[in-house]
Structure 1
Amino acid sequence: MYVGIDIGGTQIKYGLVDETAQVFEKGAVDTPKEKEAFLTQVATIIQTYQDQHTDIEGVGISAPGVIQKDGMMTTAGAIRSLYGTNLKEEIEARTGLSAVIENDANAAAIAEKWVGNARDFDTYLCIVLGTGVGGGIVINGEVFRGARGMAGEFGWAIINELPEEGNVEFASLNLRSAVIGGLCRLYNEALKETQPEATPTWDAREIFQRYSENDPIAHKVVTRFYQDLAIGLMNLISQFDPEAILIGGGISANEQFIEGLQEAMNTLESRHESITFIKQYGWAPILPTKLKNDAGIIGAVYPLYKKSQKL
């Protein structure tokens, strides 16, 4: 049995995971922003399981940011107090258990290979849409991390229309095609221009509902959201030639979103002469992930399970 922990900017989700990837005794707590409070909270979760179960073999932790193979967190998403922290060493010292630390998008990609929609693929990409755009790259069944742990930071990619001055990241996937940083942010900005007193929304479901009701602001923003995301995905397919791209994050459960994205991709691909030609020989499909909210917990412990199978 393993402890799986999925760290988010808002909440820490956790559970026990067995060798069949079943998750038991799940829970969630708010994510502390200060380093010591955060480490104490995570250690408490693990120690509670240790007190209740004698067969805990290790801890797998999924976290945002650029994470080195040795557990050093170069960045940690919105949890800035963890920048430069070796989370593996900190957790092992507090619990006495072996720990592995994995980027959240990589964990989602690994989980889908273990028991999700990537079981039949060896080379694929996993895109997680949330506050930003995270990515996991799996090549020949192994996660590709790059020289510095930064591989898969697809959200940093610039897609089009650079601002005339200032931060060019406003033309990135993170700020154009993420759910919070892109869709919701752009909708609220557009809403404020015409309705300054309107209450902003950070729930994509509300925006898609207004889109379905032909609200002109929602229609314009969602249409552009689909187009920008489709551009990013077309670029990734051209660069990596994966067997498939899996889309994760809460939005992936929305059938309207998947259908709209596929329609946008079909439209753009039909206007790209080289892609139109090559598609007759095969082109990566866009699929939703299977595991949804448990993906981080399951993927985080997979390296521990895999190691145990080799012993």
Structure 2
Amino acid sequence: MYVGFDIGGTNIKYGVLDEAGEIIEKAMIETKQKKEEILSELTEIVQHYKKEYAIEGIGISAPGVIQKNGFMTTAGAIHSLYEINLKEEIESRTGLPTAVENDANAAAIAEKWIGNAQELDNYLCIVLGTGVGGGIVINGQVYRGAHGMAGEFGYMMIDDLPPSGNIEAVSLNWRGAVVGGLYPQYNKALRKEDPNALVIKDAKVIMERAKIGEATAIAVLDRYYQDLAVGLINLIGSFDPEAILIGGGISANEEFMQQLISKIDLLEDRHESIRFLKDKTIGKIQPAKLRNDAGMIGAVYQVKQLPGSK
């Protein structure tokens, strides 16, 4: 048995998985901001599971630029984990072999193991959460880049640059993510109409409001789908993947996937070169099979590959 963690900017999902990647049990806690609080909670969870299961290793999926040795160059929105070796920290506290993998890479690995990429050799996996993460698989292997940064699709700029200030305001992280993009864009629009409007942090609520005709929700969602579609079309032209698999919790929402694919189709038809190639070489956009569990599963696969693992 293995313990799997998927550390996100908002929540940490965790559970016990068997040799085949099946989740035996799982739960979720809120992500703390202090390093020691995070490390202590991870350790406590592992120690709890060790009392119930024969735990052989720990797999950790996390955001950011992560080196092969487990060093966190960055950690997405979790600034307290920047520039620490998370693998060494957890191994020293638990005594168990630990693998640490970028969250989108972990999702891509999981999809190849037991998900929708089992028959694919060249594909991308996009994880929509606090930011926009990406996993790149070329010829069946995860491509990490020279410094472990490959797949940071959220860094892409998708609009005119602002005249001053942080140009990430027009990046895919700030426009195409769910927590870092959709929520703030919607709440900003709401406050323009009503400064006392309640903050909404639920994509389902925003989509429901659009269904009943709320103009703000309709406009924000339309722009959100467009921004995300632009990013995905750029990736299609750059990588020529067999498919792009969309992960993260929102990918389980069928309406979201339908609206996103409809927007992509519309934009592809307006792009002369892509329109010509559409039924010839353009890869499919589809949800990842493992969705919110992919990070844990892919991280556990990685710990199973460590020397000495069964």
- Provide TM-score, normalisation by structure 2: 0.95
Give the structure 2 partner of residue 6 of structure 1: 6
Query: Judging changes above 3 Å, is the alpha-carbon distance between structure 1 residues 169 and 303 closer, same or farther for their aligned structure 2 residues?
Result: same
CA distance in 2, matches of 1:169, 1:98: 37
The CA deviation at 1:85 is 0.5
Query: Counterpart in 2 of 1:288?
Result: 287
Q: CA deviation at 1:310?
A: 9.2
Cα offsets for 1:193-238 (capped at 9, x unmatched) = 1222221211111111111122111111111111111110000000
Query: Distance in 1 between the 2:39 and 2:279 partners?
Result: 52
Secondary structure of the equivalent of 1:147? coil
Residue 234 (structure 1) aligns with = 233
Distance 1:279 1:7 in 2: 37
Report the CA distance shift for 1:103/1:185 in structure 2 as closer, same or farther (over 3 A). same
Could you tell me which runs of 5 or more consecutive residues in structure 2 were left unpaired when the two chains were aligned. Answer: none
Query: 1:308 Cα shift?
Result: 7.2
The corresponding residue for 2:304 is 305
What's the CA shift string for 1:39-91, capped at 9, x where partnerless?
A: 2221222222223333x221111111111111000111222111110011111
* Residue matched to 2:44: 44
Partner SS for 2:145: coil
Counterpart amino acid of residue 148 in structure 2: G
d(CA) in 2 for partners of 1:154, 1:164:
23
Indicate the SS of the match to 2:92. Answer: helix
1:22 match: 22
Measured against aligned partners, the alpha-carbon deviations of 1:223-270 in whole angstroms (never above 9, x if no partner) come to 111111111000000000011001111111111111111111111111
Number of the residue aligned with 1:249: 248
- Once residues 306 and 94 of structure 1 are traced to their aligned partners in structure 2, the CA distance between those partners, rounded to angstroms, is 21
Cα–Cα, structure 1 residues 72 and 131, in superposed 2: closer, same or farther, change >3 Å? same
In 2: Cα distance, 1:11 partner to 1:178 partner = 15
Alignment root-mean-square deviation, CA:
1.7
Segments of structure 1 that go 5 or more residues without pairing to the other structure are: none
* Distance across 2 between alignment mates of 1:238 and 1:279: 11
1:60 and 2:59 matched: yes
Cα offset for 1:309? 10
In structure 2, how many angstroms separate the alpha carbons of the residues matched to 1:189 and 1:27?
Answer: 32
Mapped to 1, the partners of 2:41 and 2:228 lie a distance apart of: 36
What is the CA distance between 1:37 and its match in structure 2? 2.4
1:190-205 to 2 correspondences below 5 Å: 190-205=189-204
Structure 1 residue 25: deviation in Å? 2.9
Cα drift, residue 7 of structure 1: 1.3
The corresponding residue for 1:136 is 135
Name the CA distance, whole Å, in 1 between partners of 2:86 and 2:306: 20
- Cα offsets for 1:94-146 (capped at 9, x unmatched): 12211110011111111111111111111111111111111111111211111
Matched, 1:275 2:280: no
- TM-score, scaled to structure 1: 0.95
